[in-house]
Structure 1
C-alpha cells in the first residue's frame, strides 16, 4: 500500500448546487411559521480510475414578505374597524408571534417578522398600521416551548404566528391549532419573497395535500474539513478544492473519510480521537447516518412511521466503529460541551472532519473570533459522504 493519496482526479465533476445542499430530502430541517386554527391566530414555530483518486493508498415564518402578513391583517380586522372592499382594514392591526432559537443568529427568526410588518406598512400606506409583537426565547428548550403553545392553543390564547419545525404539523392539524395556507400562498405567490422559496422546500410544508406553513429558514448540516491538514498529507490544491464534487458524485465515500482520518492520526497531525467529530448531542445531524445507510422514517403509502432495521444497525455501527475500532472519534464526544470544548477544538484546527450547521460559519467568526478569510483558506464543506463508493450522498 502506497503512502499518501493519489494525485490524479477525474475531470468530469460538477460543483454541488445550493439547491441540492438545502433540499428537504437531503435531510435538512426547515423551520416554518404556521397559522392557528379556530379564532384568527397563528404560531411559528445537503469509473474505476476515479474510485481510487481519494483513497488512502488503496425555521409559518413569513419570509419578511408584506404580502403574506397583509393576508393575516385582512383576516383579523381591528375591533370596530371593518375592512374596506378590496383593501386592508383601516387602523391598527396587532399580531403576536413566538420564536425560539439557540444562539444570536436565530434572532432573525423574530426580527424577520418585524421587518415584514415594516415592509407591509410601507406598501399599505397611512390608512393601516400592522404591528407585530414578536418574542424570542434564546437558548430555550423546544419541549417546553411546544408544550406552551399546545396549552395556549387549548385555552384559545395562542399567538398569531409561531416558529416551529415542519414535524410539528401532524399533532397540531388534528385539533385545529393551525390552518392551511394554500389559498393565501396562491394569492400572493408572485409577490415579495414567496416566489423565491426553493421549490423543494414546499413539500415539507404539506400534510395530506394541504400546506400549513411557509419556510422561514432551512438548516443544512454539512461535513466540514480542514484544507490545511489535507495539504499536509499530500493532497494537491486541486484535489482539496474539488473534494465536495467527489463526495457528490460518490467518488469519495465514508470508508475514504475513515481512512484519511486514521492517516491524519497516524501522521500525528491530529490527536487520537480527533479524526472526526460528530454532533455532541442529540439532533438532526445524527439522523443523516441512518439515511446514509438506506434508512427511512415514513411509509409513503400509509404515512406510518417506520424503522429500517438494517439501516439502523449500520447507523449504530458507524459510530461504534469510529469510537471503538477505528478510534477516529473520542469516547467523550457525546455530552461534550459544545461552547466550551467542541467549537474551540474545531476552530483551532485540531479536528480533520466535523459535522456542524451552516450557520456556524458565521458563529465561528462572531463567537470564536476566527477571521472569515481564515475559514475560506483552511476550511471546506461538503455533503455527508455516501456509505460506499458510487452511492448517493
Structure 2
C-alpha cells in the first residue's frame, strides 16, 4: 500500500514538474486588420491613402523587433455631411464594430471620449511627444486641440487658416501704392489696421466706383465657425478651462453683432446675403468683384483649380489677391485666425472589438511624417502640422502654404466641450437676426444670453 501511495505521489509530482516546466508554444504569425475611416474631398484623399505607405514602415519595424504581427490596413474614404459621418460612427461604436481609427474634427473628441468610444493616447503632451519622434515634430500649439480633461485623445492630421483676403488690383485702383499693399498683412498682424479701417476702405472703394455697391466686403455665405473670428476680434472667449465652462462675453458679442449689421447698413455687404449660393460666392471673390472677403486657406486651391483655371490659376491669384490674418476689432490688438484641425482618434477596444490598439497608434506616428503630410497639404491646400515642414523642399516650394504658415502662431480653436453645439446654435441665431435686421444687436444679445442661460445652466460663464 505504501508502495502504491509512493508511486501515485511520484506521478503527481512528476506531472506537476513537467506541466509547470513545459514551455507554452510560441504564438505563431498573426495578421491584424486595422480599419480606417476618413472623410474629405477628392483632393484630400491622403487622409486615408497615407496609411498605405505608413503600414509598410510599421510592418518593417515589427519584423525587425521580432514581433509576429503583420498589419493589414482597410480604408474607407468618402465625403458625407459631418452629421451623417458622426452618426454612422456612433452607431458602429455602440455595436462594437467601429473602425479602429476615425478621422474627425477636434471638437468630436469631447463627444466620443465621454461616451467611451475612443481611448486616451497619453496623459500629457510631454508623454505623447516622447512616444514617437513624429509626434514631437507636431507644432506645440496644435496639441491643445487634442486635449480633454488633461489627456491627449487625438493626433492632428491637418490644419488651416481663415485668411482675410484682399484684391490687390482694386486697392491699386483706389490709389494704394505697391508698398502700402505689401505692408497690409503686417499692419493687420500688429493691430494697425482694424475692422473699422476695413469698412472705411470698402466704403471709399464703392464711392469712387472701384467696386459695385455691396461688394466691399463678403463674409462666408453660410453658417460656419469663420464668424467666430469677429467675436474674438472684439475680445470674445469660448471656454474657461479652470471651471470647464463655456463662456459668453456680452460686450464682445454685442460688438460682433453690431459689426454684422454695420457692414450691411454701410452698403459694403449685400442685404440678405446669408444663404447666398457657394458657387456665386466663389465666382465673385475669385474673379475680382469683391474688394475684401474672408475665406479658408483651402479655398485658394479651389479657386486656382476650378474657377480660375482658364485665367492662369495660382499665377492669376498671386498677381491679384493678397492674404492676411483676420483684422482685430480693437486697435493695437494682433490679428488672428480660427483654425479647425482634423484629428485622428483611436477607437477603444469596447467600441471596435480590436485588442491591438497599440498598432493603430504606431500607424498614426508613421502617417505624421513631413513627406506624407506635405503630399496632403500641397494637394489640398492645407497648412502643414509639423515644424520640419517649413524647411522641407516640397512644402517650402509651395508659395502660398509657406506664406501662411506663420498664421499658426496667431490661431485659436473651438473648445472640446460636449455642449458647444448648443452654444453655437444660440450664438448663430442671434448673429443672423442682427445682420438681417430682425433685431437690434443689443436685443439679439439679450435674447441669446437668455437662451444660453436656459439651455446651458451651470455650464455657462457670463462675462
TM over 0.5, yes or no?
A: yes
Compute the displacement of 1:320 (Å). 0.9
- Give the Cα separation in 1 of the matches to 2:262 and 2:330: 15
Does the residue aligned with 1:174 lie in a helix, a strand or coil? Answer: helix
Select the residue among 266, 282, 295 that pairs with 2:236.
295
- Give the Cα separation in 2 of the matches to 1:231 and 1:190: 52
Does the residue aligned with 1:97 lie in a helix, a strand or coil? Answer: strand
> Per the alignment, do residues 81 and 349 of structure 1 end up closer, same or farther by CA in structure 2, a change over 3 Å counting?
farther
TM-score (norm 1): 0.72
Select the residue among 188, 196, 215 that pairs with 1:247.
188
Counterpart contact for 2:123–2:151, Cα < 8 Å: no
Select the residue among 90, 98, 102 that pairs with 1:150.
90
Q: 1:1-393 to 2 correspondence within 5 Å?
A: 82=27, 90-101=29-40, 103-124=41-62, 129-138=70-79, 140-182=80-122, 186=127, 189=130, 191=132, 193-323=134-264, 325-338=265-278, 340-368=279-307, 369=309, 370-393=312-335
RMSD: 2.3
Structure number with higher relative contact order (C-alpha < 8 Å, ≥ 6 residues apart)? 2
Question: Which ranges in structure 2 are unaligned for 5 or more consecutive residues?
Answer: 1-24, 336-463
Compute the displacement of 1:119 (Å). 3.6
Does the residue aligned with 1:182 lie in a helix, a strand or coil? Answer: coil
Compute the displacement of 1:91 (Å). 4.1
* Cα deviation 1:328-352 (Å, max 9, x = unaligned): 11124311111x2111111111111
Does the residue aligned with 1:387 lie in a helix, a strand or coil? Answer: coil
> Per the alignment, do residues 207 and 188 of structure 1 end up closer, same or farther by CA in structure 2, a change over 3 Å counting?
closer
The structure with the greater share of residues assigned to helix is 2
> Per the alignment, do residues 328 and 82 of structure 1 end up closer, same or farther by CA in structure 2, a change over 3 Å counting?
farther
Compute the displacement of 1:191 (Å). 4.2
- Give the Cα separation in 2 of the matches to 1:328 and 1:187: 47
> Per the alignment, do residues 120 and 386 of structure 1 end up closer, same or farther by CA in structure 2, a change over 3 Å counting?
same
Does the residue aligned with 2:247 lie in a helix, a strand or coil? Answer: coil
> Per the alignment, do residues 134 and 203 of structure 1 end up closer, same or farther by CA in structure 2, a change over 3 Å counting?
same
Compute the displacement of 1:115 (Å). 3.0
> Per the alignment, do residues 213 and 81 of structure 1 end up closer, same or farther by CA in structure 2, a change over 3 Å counting?
farther
Higher Rg of the two aligned structures = 2
Compute the displacement of 1:296 (Å). 1.2
Q: Where in structure 1 do 4 or more consecutive aligned residues deviate above 6 Å?
A: none
- Give the Cα separation in 2 of the matches to 1:187 and 1:301: 23
> Per the alignment, do residues 118 and 280 of structure 1 end up closer, same or farther by CA in structure 2, a change over 3 Å counting?
farther
Counterpart contact for 1:105–1:359, Cα < 8 Å: no
Counterpart contact for 2:222–2:274, Cα < 8 Å: yes
Counterpart contact for 2:163–2:295, Cα < 8 Å: yes
Aligned residues: 304
Compute the displacement of 1:128 (Å). 5.3
Counterpart contact for 1:81–1:91, Cα < 8 Å: no
- Give the Cα separation in 2 of the matches to 1:284 and 1:82: 51
